[in-house]
Structure 1
């Protein structure tokens, strides 16, 4: 049904065949006179007197059709037209509808003022969604605006990317279905949105409906299942081809969903259609690193280097993280040193991978050195990394050092420790008999919204037993029973 909308408007979306929307002359003489007066004031009057004279010229306001007519006369003055539009809104002089919004959007698109055009499209969608316009034929504001933009395209002398802006606005509002229908209507007449727009839509479908749905849309929009001669026979114009970013987005979605086989299929499909970039290699390496298949990851790394591609920070972080995951910190450090020699600046993720690697092999001193280097560079650690450092230090009996790590992280990075971090520290303090400090930390823990559990009560009970404090031991056990906490 949606495709019929465009077919009844035009034989093609090319400007020479668009159906005219505005009549060449207005049947209402008074209305035409108003349009002429307003245009004259806008163009010829100084800015100080312009707006007061406009108010006098249209004491009863203007209707949307008159606004569109005025806009047509301001094609070469887009900033002035935009100010006039905003003025009519601020003074409530025009009850704008989709047609008047379309006229100003086209004008801004024609002038390549993309951000302004995009903002007004978003506003038009929102306003249309809140009103009951009898002239609108669809329940979807997005399709109604598309229909209006199609009708007004030729007379406005607009630019094709106005439809890309509309699709982007729909996607940013999470309106995936209308975006798909708009693209289908455009493609049915031999007009394709930009590849970047199609890529964004495919990604949106993957995230909202799954990779299978996104992959199907990818094949449909790029017409991968159609024969070239069939496309030519139907007159559907040149077929837009997917680029490296298309495949990168699809591969990333496959990686996030754990679809390894589909991801490798896309890799081979990409190799036959375009050249992978460093990010492409990183995404495929990530799945190998995730599965501990570091031999395959290294082969990809060498292939990337042979293709004269310089690894970026994502590539380095991926392979460093992979080696750290399998406990080969020595190899990870080699790539880290190579990263520094290549003047690729490390990120917090780089250091966190190394901390996790040293944590996995129990090398507390090396982990501390990496963590402190990270802190000196003002790279904010993740709460999970801080938790690992605390556990590692406390396991080695270095509770005070762990406590200082937490205090510095809270002070310097405004980091909120995890519940497990508090529990490990309280256990360590209680084991060392530092009960007052443990109580203060437990109060801080409660202040952060974490309620003490059996592990924390158990640590306090054991600590007071070692001190021979039977009174506190009995009181804590009684409190545990009252709170229904099992020892």
Structure 2
């Protein structure tokens, strides 16, 4: 009831004079047959829809109204069906499919309200997306039409949450922000789920600072109509983490106590990721112990975070301890777990262990990303095992369609050149060019050095001249 009272200053009330564009309920026929009033065209159509069998209903409507219905007529009919939203939707779809009504924003809005009040959210969301994309329409026009018809249709407040979500799904981020701010200016806050979706997309498209500004408008400046929950704060932490603003992540962490909101396992994982990226593994382990004290259940994200942190600083044995604990806890490893160990073993020069993990990863159906392949190929090249690195690359291309990155190819070419494997290096370099990767100065330098070591000064000189032309 509090929400409905909040809406009263914004939406027309029953006692207020309705705008001229609103449909008037007083013009509708609401009489029963016993009142002895002659049926109106609208009431006749309503009777056909509500009392005819489904198979004969539509043919009866065609014969009754061969020229179809105007959007205004559709809205009047639909409002008589508002307690039967499924039937109203079937009528709408039938009219649209058979070109029996040139639906406009008014008819769309009427049905959207009916579906919202009937809690058919998925259907309402689909129609909102259609309305946004309609010719000569836009999200703000849809919003205005929904506002005008809100009271008359007896709608539900979350219809505007659905509109914001439809805008976000349709990648109309700025419109979703405008609509949210118009609601907020009238003391109406989007729901928690919608706010999370909105803040996440704003962080992704416009940066975490803009997402944070919107957070403050919804949860701080809006007189505390709604309170943030753990998912909202996690969304902000992720946004700032992805933007590389680690201090802001820590600042959002402090908001948990201010909001009387308890962080969950994912919250701790984000903060641990900050500690790991900064090489502060002592702090990461302290957070881990704090989670144990709070009896939080660890998940694969938490384990991957701390395993990755130890692998990045070369403490693979410590990472293995957490990996064993992870297995004893019954938590399945993910692709990320294996990738951390491949990179970690390569970092400490244990390429044979890295290769074992890589093969195990492939057996389990996981596929490494480009940075993992770069680490593996680079690790073998640093051990002067360039031919093995070449076989790894060939196997990845043939086995799971791996597309080499520029860096992985350059690392391999330079490694082969250092070992004097010039023919193999040339083969890789030719394929590199065929895939659109032009050689850089470092690659030229590697070839020149390789030919100098072989005593092929003529080829080295030719490449020097070519490098000056290409690299300037």
What is aligned with 2:246? 260
Query: Compared with structure 1, are the counterparts of its residues 150 and 482 closer, same or farther at alpha carbon in structure 2 (3 Å cutoff)?
Result: closer
1:469-480 equivalences in 2 (<5 Å):
473=459, 477=462
Matches of 2:88 and 2:337, distance apart in 1: 50
Is the CA contact 2:341–2:357 (under 8 Å) kept in the aligned structure 1? Answer: yes
Distance (Å, rounded) in 1 between the aligned partners of 2:320 and 2:158: 48
- Pick the aligned partner of 2:136 from 131, 138, 155: 131
Question: Is 2:185 aligned against 1:200?
Answer: no
Aligned length: 455
Task: Kindly indicate whether residue 223 of structure 2 is the aligned counterpart of residue 222 of structure 1.
Answer: no
* Offset, 1:278: 0.5
Query: What is the Cα deviation at residue 413 of structure 1?
Result: 2.2
- Is 1:353 paired with 2:340? yes
Question: Which TM-score applies when normalising by structure 1?
Answer: 0.82
Residue deviations 1:59-92, cap 9 Å, x none?
2221111011121222243333223222322333
Cα separation, 2, equivalents of 1:478 and 1:300: 55
Match of 2:162 in 1: 165
Tell me the distance in 1 between the aligned counterparts of 2:225 and 2:429.
65
Q: Is 1:22 the counterpart of 2:23 in the alignment?
A: yes
User: Offset of 1:486 from its aligned partner?
Assistant: 5.9
- TM-score, normalised relative to structure 2: 0.85
Q: What is the rounded CA distance, in whole Å, between the counterparts of 2:141 and 2:450 in structure 1?
A: 71
The Cα of 1:480 is off from its aligned counterpart by 5.3
Q: Tell me the SS of whatever aligns to 1:295.
A: helix
Q: State the Cα distance separating 1:320 from its structure 2 match.
A: 1.2
Could you tell me which residue of structure 1 aligns to residue 227 of structure 2? 241
Partner of 1:366: 353
Q: Structure 1 stretch 332-341 or stretch 182-191: which is displaced more?
A: 182-191
Matched residues in 2 for 1:163 and 1:289: separation? Answer: 41
Q: After alignment, is 414-423 or 310-319 more displaced?
A: 414-423
The alpha carbon displacement at 1:467 in A equals 6.3
Matched residue, 1:149:
146
Post-superposition offset of 1:168 = 1.2
Contact 2:184 2:217 in 1 (8 A): no
Is there any run of 5+ residues in structure 1 with no aligned partner, and where?
1-5, 133-140, 227-237
Residues 22-41 of structure 1 show CA distances to partners (whole Å, capped at 9, x for unaligned) of 3235499xxx8443343333
Q: Contact between 1:19 and 1:151, CA under 8 Å: does it hold in 2?
A: no
Contact map agreement 2:25 2:152 (CA 8 A) in 1 = no
The correspondence for 2:103, drawn from 89, 96, 109, is 96
Measured on the aligned residues, the alpha-carbon RMSD in Å equals 3.3
Is the deviation greater in 114-123 or in 452-461? Answer: 452-461
The residue number in structure 1 matching 2:87 is 80
CA contact (8 A) 2:184 2:222 kept: no
The 1:25–1:375 alpha-carbon spacing in structure 2 relative to 1, beyond 3 Å, is same
